[in-house]
Amino acid sequence: MQDILMPANNETRQPSVGSSSRVFGRTKSTSAKSARRTIRPSVFAIKFVVALLVTLVGLPLAAPQLSLAPAMAQGGFKLPMSVRSLGIQNEDPATWSATYRVVPGTDEGVLEVEVVLSQGWHVFSTTQESGGPIPTSITIAAPKAVQLSGAFQPDHEPESAESDVFEGVTIEEFHDSVIWSAKIVLPPGYQGDIEVAVDGQTCSEAGSCTPVQESLVAKYTGEAKPVQTVADTATAKVTKLDLAKAKPYREPKNPVQWKAAASKSIAAGDRGVLQFNATLDPEYHVYTAAVDDANSSTNFIVTNKSGLKVGMPTTPTKIIVDNTLPTLPMKYHDGDVTWSLPVQVPAGTAAGEHKIEGFIVYQACTKSACYPPTALKFETVIVVGDGAAGSTVVSMKPAKRPVALDAADGNKWVDELDAAGNAPAAGNQSQSDASTSQAPPINPSTPDQVSAAESPPSPDSSGSNSKADSRIADSASAASAISSVVVKDSPEEIAEMAKLYNVDEKIRYLTLSDMDSNPIGSGGVSSSDTMTFWSALFGAFVGGIILNLMPCVFPVLGLKVMGFVKQAGNDPAKIRMHGIAFAGGLLVAMWVLAGIILTIKISLGTNINWGAQMSEPYFVCAMIVLLFLLGLNLAGVFEFGTSMTRVGGSIQGKEGYSSSFLSGVLTTLVATPCSGPFLGAAMSYTLAQPAGIAMILFTVFGLGIAVPYLLLCFFPALINRLPRPGAWMETFKVTMAFALFATVAFFMQAFGSQTGASGLSWLAMALVVIALAAYYYGNYSAPHVPDGKRWAFGYIMPLAIFSLGAWMCYGAANERSTAESSYHAGGLAWQDWNPGKVEQTLRRKKKTVWVDYTADW
C-alpha cells in the first residue's frame, strides 16, 4: 500500500535472487517520483472521503444493484489497494545482469545488459527524451581499454505513450525484460571482466520509483558472430521469409487477416523462423504477445514440435499502450504486426520432415467493442536438411478456443533459447524440460535470446499446469477493460465449462463476521446453520422496519401517513381499524406471495426465489401502470369515483377500510425488489425452512413493515402530533405524486433492462395514452356532466383509450432486451458468468476471483 501512496523511502535493498552479476547493494532515495502516473495522497484522501460519504448515504437507499463494485468501477471510490496489487511484488523490482562476447580473431565484441523486471515495474529507454523521466544510461566503467563502439540498442521496441505528467513528452518504457546490446572494442585476446555502470530509474505502475545505480560485472561468455547485436540478429531472422506470398487466412467476418510462413529448410544445429503476420482492418487492434496474468495477449501455443525447439514470439512492431485504466494498461498493436518465433534445430537432429503444429488465440477489438476471442490452428512441415533459403507453407484453419486452451494447459509450448539462439546446454536443458513451471513467462518484448542468468520467480509461478495456464490469453480481462464491455463466452466454452466442472457442489465460504475467527489455514467454513430461527426472526422484523425507507416503498407509505393526518381527531377505534386493515392487506399479500413461492418450490423442486415476480415484465408493467395512475390521481388529473374501489392511499380521508387494505397489498408488492439488501441471509434461511416456519418468518417480516403504522394507529396521540390538516396537504399531495412518478421511473429502469429500448419506448407511449384516458375520465365523469356526455367521454372513451394503452403495455412487455446490463459500465474488467466459469477461472488463472451476483431491478 505504501508503494501506491508515496515513493519508497530509504529502504535498504535486499540482495536479489539469482542475480549472479550484482556487485553492490544500494539504497533508494526519496527523490524519485513516478514518471507517468502519480497518485497524490491529498487527491486520494478526498476521493476516499467523498466515496465513503456517498457509500454511507447511498447504501441504505440503494437498490440491489448498488453494491460496492460499481462504485469502484466508476472511480468514485478507489481502494487504496489496487486490483493489481493483489499480485505479489518482488522486494527487488529489477534484476540486472551483463555479459559480453567477442568475435574471434578481432578486437570487436558485443556487450549485453539485461534487466528482468517484476510484474508492474518498468524501466525507461536509453533514448528517452529529456524533460521526462530519467533515461537508462549504460556505460563501461572499467577497464579503460574496453570501449563502446556503438550505441546500445534494445532487443525490442519500447512501449510508447504520451505522458500525463510531463506535458508533450513521449514516454518510452520497457516492461518484463529487455536486453540492450552494443558493439565494443577491446584488446585482442581480452577475456577479463568488464565493469558496467547503469543509471536511470525503475518505476511501478502504482506510481513509486526507485533510482537505478547499478554496477555490474560483465563476464566473458564466448564467441559472438561477427558484429551482430541482439537487435541485428532478430532483424536478420525476421527478414528471411517472404510473407507476401503466403496464402491469407481470415475467420468469417473477423477483422484480422493472417498470413504465415516458416523456414523451408534448417540445418541441424542452426536456426530458422516461424512467422505470423496479422493485418487488421481499420480501427481494430490485437493484443501483444506479452502474457502476464493481468492483461490480454495473443497466444502462440505450439503443441507439436517434432523434436525441434520453438522460441518465444517477438515482434519489432510498435506497442501501443492505452492507459485509460491506470490499473489495467492495455498493450496492443494495430495496422500490421508480424511475430517471429525462432525455430532451433538441435545438433544431431535427424534429417527429414518435422511437423510443427499449434494454435493462436487472439482477440480483435476497437476502442469500444471486441470480437469474441478466436482461435486458429496452424500446421507446417520444416525440413531438417541443407538449410536452403526459402519459405514453406503454414496452413491455418479454424479451431475451437476451449480446445486451444486445453492444449495450452500443462503443455510446454515455448522453449528457452540461449543468447545465440540455441537451445540451452544439456544440463540446463534437462532442468528446463523437467519443470515446465520454470519456463519464463511469454513476453512480447522478450527477445529470441534469453539470458542464462536465473530469472526471478514470476509472481504467478505456481506449478507446471498453472504456469501454462498463465500463458492462456487473458482476453477477458483485456476486452472488458474497455468501458462497458463484458466479455462473454462462446456456446462451446459454456458447454465445456458445464461439462468439466462440478457446478452443483456446495461452495465453501466464510461470512465476514466469521472471518476473524477463522484465520488463513484454519480451513473453517460457515454454513447456513449459523443463522438460527430466532436470528432470522429478528432479521426479518428489523429488515421489514427499515424497508419502509426504501425508494420502492416510501412514496406509497407517504400516502398512508397523509391518511393518518386526515384521521387526526377521529374516533380512535376507527383509526385502529385502519391500521389493522393496512397490516392485514400487507400480510395477506405477503402470505399469497410466499404461498405461491413455497408451493412452486415444493411441488416443482425449482429454485424460485423471493421477488421472483419482479423478473416478469408483465408484472413490472402492471406495477408501473398502477403507480402511474396513483400518481396522476394525486396530481389531480382525475379522482376515483365514489362507486369505484379506492386504490392505494387515496387522500380523501373518508375512504373505507378497503383502501387501507389495498395500500397494504400494494406495499408488499412494491417492497419485494428492495428487500434483498436487508433480508439476504434471513430470507435465504426462510426459504430453506419447512413451509410452516417459512410462513411465520414471512409474517414477522410483514409485521416489521407494518409496525410503524400500527404504532400510530394504536397510539392516536402520536397522530395528533402530526401537522393539522390544511392547505399544505394539497402541496404535499402533489409532491407525493412526483414521488410516485419517481417510483415509476425506478421500476421503468428494471423494465427497460428486461425489454430493452424498444420495450421501454412502447411503455412510455402507453403511459402517455393511459394519461390521456385518465384526463378524459377526470374531466367528464363528474356527476354534473350530462349523462350522454358523461358516458361517451367520461366512461366509454377513456375505457377505449385505456384499452389501447393496456394493449401497448402488453406489447412492451413482450419485448426482450439483448443489451448488456447497464451495471457493467465503468471500465472494470468484468467477465460474464456461466456455470463452471468460477471454477475454470480459479483453475486457469490461480487468482482471486470476485463474483458479483446482481440484477438491474
Partner 1 sequence: MELIVVDDTLREERISRDLARADRQILPVNLIYPPNYPEEPAILLDEFIGPADALKVLERMEKIQNNLASSRLAVNH
Contact positions with partner 1 (CB under 8 A) in 338-357: none
Interaction between residue 85 and partner 1 (CB under 8 A): yes
Interaction between residue 695 and partner 1 (CB under 8 A): no
| Cell triple for 385 | 536438411
Is the CB of 232 or the CB of 832 nearer to partner 1?
832
Interaction between residue 439 and partner 1 (CB under 8 A): no
Interaction between residue 845 and partner 1 (CB under 8 A): yes
DSSP element (H, E) containing 730: helix 728-780
Residues 720 to 779: which contact partner 1 by CB under 8 A?
750, 753-754
Backbone angles phi, psi at 397, to 5 degrees: -150, 160
Interaction between residue 122 and partner 1 (CB under 8 A): no
Please give the Cα distance from 154 to 852 (Å, whole number): 43
Return the residue of 139, 170, 528, 642 that touches partner 1, per CB under 8 A: 528
In the complex, the smallest distance separating the C-beta of residue 744 from partner 1, rounded to whole angstroms, is 18
Is the CB of 19 or the CB of 480 nearer to partner 1?
480
Is the CB of 503 or the CB of 577 nearer to partner 1?
503
Candidates 216-224, 241-249, 310-318, 675-683; binding stretch for partner 1 (CB under 8 A): 675-683
Is the CB of 541 or the CB of 830 nearer to partner 1?
830
Please give the Cα distance from 104 to 122 (Å, whole number): 35
Cβ-count burial 246-257 (b if 16+ within 10 Å, e if not): beebebeebbbe
In the complex, the smallest distance separating the C-beta of residue 464 from partner 1, rounded to whole angstroms, is 12
Coil, strand or helix: which one is 667? Answer: helix
Please give the Cα distance from 611 to 691 (Å, whole number): 17
3-class secondary structure for 398-467?
EECHHHHHHHHCCCCCCCCCCCCCCCCCHHHHHHHHHCHHHCCCCCCCCCCCCCCCCCCCCCCCCCHHHH
Residues 805 to 824: which contact partner 1 by CB under 8 A?
821, 823-824
Interaction between residue 428 and partner 1 (CB under 8 A): no
Is the CB of 609 or the CB of 761 nearer to partner 1?
609
Cβ-based neighbours of 118, under 8 Å, separated by 6 or more:
89, 90, 92, 93, 94, 456, 459
Interaction between residue 602 and partner 1 (CB under 8 A): no
Return the residue of 67, 257, 366, 761 that touches partner 1, per CB under 8 A: 67
Return the residue of 75, 80, 653, 811 that touches partner 1, per CB under 8 A: 80
CA distances, 287 to each of 330, 616, 675, 676, 827 (Å): 8, 41, 43, 40, 18
Return the residue of 244, 350, 426, 512 that touches partner 1, per CB under 8 A: 512
Over the Cα atoms of the chain, what is R_g?
35
Please give the Cα distance from 720 to 727 (Å, whole number): 17
Interaction between residue 577 and partner 1 (CB under 8 A): no
| Cell triple for 64 | 440491489
The residue behind cell 428489523 is 542
Interaction between residue 792 and partner 1 (CB under 8 A): no
Interaction between residue 677 and partner 1 (CB under 8 A): yes
Return the residue of 308, 414, 486, 766 that touches partner 1, per CB under 8 A: 486
Return the residue of 304, 615, 689, 761 that touches partner 1, per CB under 8 A: 615
Return the residue of 12, 386, 509, 644 that touches partner 1, per CB under 8 A: 509
Interaction between residue 79 and partner 1 (CB under 8 A): yes
Sign of the Cα pseudo-torsion (612, 616, 621, 626, in order)? negative
In the complex, the smallest distance separating the C-beta of residue 266 from partner 1, rounded to whole angstroms, is 34
CA distances, 658 to each of 74, 644, 663, 704, 827 (Å): 46, 11, 8, 21, 50
Candidates 236-244, 630-638, 795-803, 842-850; binding stretch for partner 1 (CB under 8 A): 842-850
Residues 702 to 721: which contact partner 1 by CB under 8 A?
none
CB 553 within 8 A of CB 670: yes
| Cell triple for 375 | 482461435
| Cell triple for 512 | 465476514
Interaction between residue 88 and partner 1 (CB under 8 A): yes
DSSP element (H, E) containing 788: helix 787-789
Candidates 118-126, 648-656, 669-677, 788-796; binding stretch for partner 1 (CB under 8 A): 669-677
Binding mask 36-65 for partner 1 (x = CB under 8 A): ------------x--xx--xx--xx---xx
Interaction between residue 31 and partner 1 (CB under 8 A): no
In the complex, the smallest distance separating the C-beta of residue 31 from partner 1, rounded to whole angstroms, is 29
